[in-house]
Amino acid sequence: MALDESEPVLLRTEGRAGYITLNRPRALNALTHPMVRTVDAALAAWEQDPAVEVVVIAGAGERGLCAGGDIRAIHADALAGGSASVAFWRDEYRLNARIARYSKPYVAVMDGIVMGGGVGVSAHGDVRIVTERSAVAMPETGIGFVPDVGGTHLLAQAPGELGTHLALTGSAVGAADALLCGLADHFVPSRRLAELTASLAVLDVSETVRRYAAAAPEGELAPHREWIDHSYAADTVEEILARLLDCGDPAAKEAAETILTRSPTSLKVTLAAMRRARALGELEPVLDQEFRVSSAAFSSPDLIEGVRAQVIDKDRRPRWSPAELSEVTEADVARFFAPLGERELGLGLAG
């Protein structure tokens, strides 16, 4: 495994495959803007290279593919009143769209922690592989942010209201539940990953998957579909919480208690974003929407406070503003979806 982090993205080709390794293992391979640009440039070049027939992305070390964007850098940028984070998101979301529309098989090794931006560089791919160590999540509501990188699109496509449950709670799921929610395609034991990725240099993707895929260990969500689908079908976060608390299932009560620790503004904006994403259908207009939401969140107090509480000071006691769901108005939510004019991402128009 790579220990030298002087090159945060490692690129190589072997046989018919191009390999991308996110190489910041000490930071759980968190994405920076230069990393996004490097991956995007490699994909653009390999798409035109007939010798490269498949692309494989993985993370250095054994802790995970990618824990998301570098939120310490985003926190510092927001405190300074900068604009680097918005520029980062612009290029990151364009990369997510490129991955989803890539003309060659894109294989994502979703081993270990795969969260936020890590989902963006993996779950839009053609072949998404999880292991017994996988922990897949969009945990943004816990830091005063809103699921992005196409996460609201992916979660809106999940069966029933599973995606809404994951979006609001920010809970991580293992292999079987990632498969159930449509965030992954195949389970492969982690001990066989090295063989699998090496085989892609000589074998086609379908043959490789047949050789290494196995049945995933049992998941946790399927037995709870009834209360999940009923509770999260409600029109407001307040009603969702009421249904969760009324249904009598300890797991539903636990979900409600988790939601109550999240940013009230983020919760209401996330629910609205999920409903809108489901109606939009296609990825590109959803990414446009997410860019508007992220841009608004960047100038909101909860993002700075959430990262402070969870990552900087680690006191786990965020002081949200507003502090209560009842204090977040429809106008507060609508502000996150306001058009950006010349600053729009514009992927939907390009599509």
Q: How far is CA 120 from CA 90, 141, 153, 251, in A?
A: 13, 17, 11, 28
- CB of 156 closer than 8 Å to CB of 278: yes
Candidate list 140, 284, 288, 305, residue with the active-site label: 140
Q: Which phi and psi (to 5°) does residue 128 adopt?
A: -115, 115
* Residue burial 6-18, b: 16+ Cβ < 10 Å; e: rest: eebbebeeeeebb
Contact criterion met (CB below 8 Å) for 232 and 214? no
117 is catalytic: yes
Catalytic residue flag (residue 62) = no
- Do residues 143 and 310 make contact, with C-beta atoms less than 8 angstroms apart? yes
Distance of CA 266 to the CA centre of its chain: 16
Q: Which of 61, 68, 117, 163 is catalytic?
A: 117
Q: Is the dihedral of CA 85, 325, 276, 230 positive or negative?
A: positive
DSSP string, 153-181: HHHHTSSTTHHHHHHHH---B-HHHHHHT
Identify whether 313 is a catalytic site residue. Answer: no
Catalytic residue among 77, 111, 148, 185: 148
Q: Which of 18, 61, 69, 170 is catalytic?
A: 69
Among candidates 218, 241, 217, which has minimal Cα distance to 231? Answer: 241
Say how far apart CA 195 and CA 92 lie, in whole Å. Answer: 30
- How far apart are the C-alpha atoms of 183 and 34, rounded to whole Å? 26
Q: Which residues belong to the active site?
A: 69, 117, 140, 148
